[in-house]
A and B are shown apart, each in its own frame.
Chain A
Amino acid sequence: MTLRWRIVALVAAATCAAAAAVGVLVHHASRDRELSQARDGARTTLERAALGYARTGGVQGSGAVLDAPGLPGGLRRLVAKGHQGTEFATGPDGPAMWAARPADGQVLSVRIDMSTAMRNISALDTNIILAGLMTTAVVLPLGVLTAERMSRRLRLAAATARRIAAGDLDARISPAARPHDEIAEISGAVDSMAAALQERLLDEQRFTADVAHELRTPLMGLVTAAELLPPGEAAGYVRDRVRVLSTLVEELLEISRLDAGAEEADLSPCPLGPVLDEAIAGTGLSARLRTGTAEGTGQPDSAEDTGQRDATDRTRQRDSADDTGPWHSTDGPKVWTDPRRLTRIVANLVVNAHRHGREPVEVTVAADGRTVTVRDHGTGYPDDLLEKGPQRFRTGVRERGRGHGLGLTIAVGQAQVIGATLEFGNAPDGGAVATLRLPEGPERPELSDLPELPDPGPIHG
């Protein structure tokens, strides 16, 4: 139950309870007053009648009767014991107050009819119930309104907090002055939390940029100086180590930029074929680029399998002569992405496949034109990686190969930046499989200008 309805129910319950309590109290008070009046009246009349009876031996005109037939049993027994008393009872003639006393072996009694008084009391009860209902009818909408407003403000605060969590650090609940209550307090707290986060993020980004400057400046000198060394074995070592150091520094800076959230994707419609070609070419390693065909399967793994079995005519080496097909031209099917980051992801996956897996390394585009898998035929990803994802500087088993273990971390980070998902798994027949799912493009109207996505049928290259 939402807070709003809880508040509304509480208001309704409180109003009803108050009305009921007042009603019960008023009902009892009125009844008691009526009864005590009737009792007094009956007693007075009885005493007067008793005096008259003692003097005259008759009861005519006194309002009392002797041995009345309707006298309640309890009162009759009391009188039989020689006492006098009163009793309220509802007989066949309606409610009435009785007073009785013994008189020479007979029972002298007075009956005062109370049906009018009782009718008045039930009329009063009805009025109290009506008043209660009317009060509830007036108070409840007010309660609904108040609850609605509180609930709206709380929901706004929650929505803003969610936006902040999703990375929109400019989101604020409201700069406008609000009634100073607890909700205003929590709104202010969320706002200042966002401001603090933003400040910290900017600090971190500044720090990253400064670190970059401090590391790259001497490195630039080192790189250019190493190039000037006369050729020789030692110079070769120096250049090789400088290159390793440069790569490590760039990767660390990239990770810290990704961590600091300083990276923003530069999205545009890009032909997938050339981007993947360039990514593979950039690594200087061999990888086969294939396009899968759809066999009515949505599962990436099975799509990949059927793609590999049924579309072998599409299989080709990156540098083979038939590389001029439409799929590889810039007019080919497009994805909405940042090609710089996509290239980085695919290149890192290919390098990782070569470093830790075994050839052949295959880069496959599924029939949807947006899912890219990179697989090798080695022993597959270690269980630790499948469980926890890539971790920095963890290269798995030592003898698996070289590398800093940053490549996959970067790939995952860059995939996040371009809104893609990167999953790691192992093929049933051995080998590591990384599946990159690129997001769909933005609004349809913009994409309508683009060429069609790859036809599910065979593509003639």
Chain B
Amino acid sequence: MTTGFTPPGAAPGPGSPTEAHLLLVEDDEVIRNTVWMSLERYGFTVSTAGDGLTGLEIFRERQPDLLLLDVMLPELDGIGLCRRVREFSLAPILMMSARGDSLDVVSGLEAGADDYVVKPCESAVLVARIRSLLRRASFTPMARAPHAEARGGAPEPDGAAGPDTLVFGELTIDTLGMEVRRAGEPLALTPTELRMLLEFAGSPGVVLERRTLLSRVWDHAWQGDTRVVDLHVQRLRAKIGAERIETVRGFGYKLRR
């Protein structure tokens, strides 16, 4: 059922837009067409849909690398579309909100969106966010790469906890195979969730400030919206167990060893 978090197609490098396939779901015709044209200029392949149900259909059919959607959509709204897509896909979802109020943003992130932008935004901003999300989807931890090469890159035999496997209670993270298991059961994490979990696993027991996570995982500047972090921590907790990530009030979160 799950598509996993394999890098988008055979993308030549992380974040490269070449051949990255985006699905844009937007009901406003002018925005749909102009954003589509802009994104194609940046080298993306873009499919478009004018309402939520058509969007869902096209998503199932073409399996795009990233979903870009408006919150207010006819037929099936952006929040509903997000939720439906998350039932079978881990592809990154970027939400565009014109209201920009907490209701839109929070419910979108709860429904499974990875990030959001507030309209109106220039194409450059939109493209930067899209690239950041695609990079995450094709993410391989750089720190681990030399180590893997030294060992000839041989994959670990199934089930064995090798040096590339981190264990936290019933949670095991295979940093080489990018696989996360909870009590032996493989977990389906979105690239953003996985990236965040790796940040936590990199320094267990250490408090990570929300803004640190925001800049490391989302590439957002200091002024970014930390609700994105909070809602992703909530989603991650739901998957790996609520007690695994501790809230340090006012500061951030830490992974319990």
Residues of B within 8 A of A278 (CB): 221-223
Q: Are A224 and B31 in contact (CB under 8 A)?
A: yes
Residue of B nearest to A224 (CB): B34
Q: Are A220 and B120 in contact (CB under 8 A)?
A: yes
A175-209 vs B: 1/0 string, CB under 8 Å? 00000000000000000000000000000010011
Q: Are B250 and A268 in contact (CB under 8 A)?
A: yes
Using CB atoms and an 8 Å cutoff, list the residues of chain A in contact with chain B.
205, 208-210, 212-213, 216-225, 227-228, 246, 262, 266-270, 274-275, 278, 339-340, 343-344, 442, 446, 449
Residues of A within 8 A of B221 (CB): 278
Distance in Å: Cβ of A236 to nearest Cβ of chain B = 15
| B136 adjacent to chain A (CB < 8 Å) | no
Give the complex CA separation of A196 and B35 in angstroms.
Answer: 43
Partner of A205, one of B72, B101, B250: B101
Distance in Å: Cβ of B207 to nearest Cβ of chain A = 8
Give the complex CA separation of A213 and B120 in angstroms.
Answer: 10
Q: Count residues on chain B whose CB falls below 8 Å from chain A CBs.
A: 36
Partner of A224, one of B38, B99, B249: B38
Using CB atoms and an 8 Å cutoff, list the residues of chain B in contact with chain A.
28, 30-31, 34-35, 37-38, 41, 72, 96, 98-101, 103-104, 118-123, 209-211, 221-227, 249-252
Q: Are B227 and A266 in contact (CB under 8 A)?
A: yes
Q: A442 with B120: in contact, given A266-B225, A339-B211 (CB under 8 Å)?
A: no
Give the complex CA separation of A278 and B226 in angstroms.
Answer: 17
- Kindly list the 7 A-B residue pairs having the minimum CB-CB distance in the complex, ordered from nearest: A221-B30, A224-B34, A220-B120, A220-B119, A340-B223, A216-B98, A213-B98
Distance in Å: Cβ of B89 to nearest Cβ of chain A = 26
Q: Are B222 and A275 in contact (CB under 8 A)?
A: yes
Partner of A221, one of B31, B209, B211, B227: B31
Give the complex CA separation of A246 and B251 in angstroms.
Answer: 34
Q: Are A442 and B224 in contact (CB under 8 A)?
A: no
Q: Are A268 and B223 in contact (CB under 8 A)?
A: no
Residues of B within 8 A of A262 (CB): 101
Q: Are A223 and B101 in contact (CB under 8 A)?
A: no
Give the complex CA separation of A275 and B211 in angstroms.
Answer: 12
Residues of A within 8 A of B211 (CB): 268, 270, 339
Give the complex CA separation of A442 and B251 in angstroms.
Answer: 12
Q: A339 with B98: in contact, given A219-B119, A246-B120 (CB under 8 Å)?
A: no
Residue of B nearest to A281 (CB): B221
Distance in Å: Cβ of A444 to nearest Cβ of chain B = 12
Q: Are B251 and A269 in contact (CB under 8 A)?
A: yes
Q: Are B37 and A228 in contact (CB under 8 A)?
A: yes
Residue of B nearest to A219 (CB): B120
Q: Are B209 and A343 in contact (CB under 8 A)?
A: no
Residue of A nearest to B122 (CB): A223
Partner of A209, one of B31, B99, B123: B99
Q: A220 with B250: in contact, given A213-B72, A228-B38 (CB under 8 Å)?
A: no
Residues of B within 8 A of A217 (CB): 28, 31, 98, 119
Q: Are A227 and B225 in contact (CB under 8 A)?
A: no
Give the complex CA separation of A339 and B222 in angstroms.
Answer: 7
Q: Are A220 and B98 in contact (CB under 8 A)?
A: yes
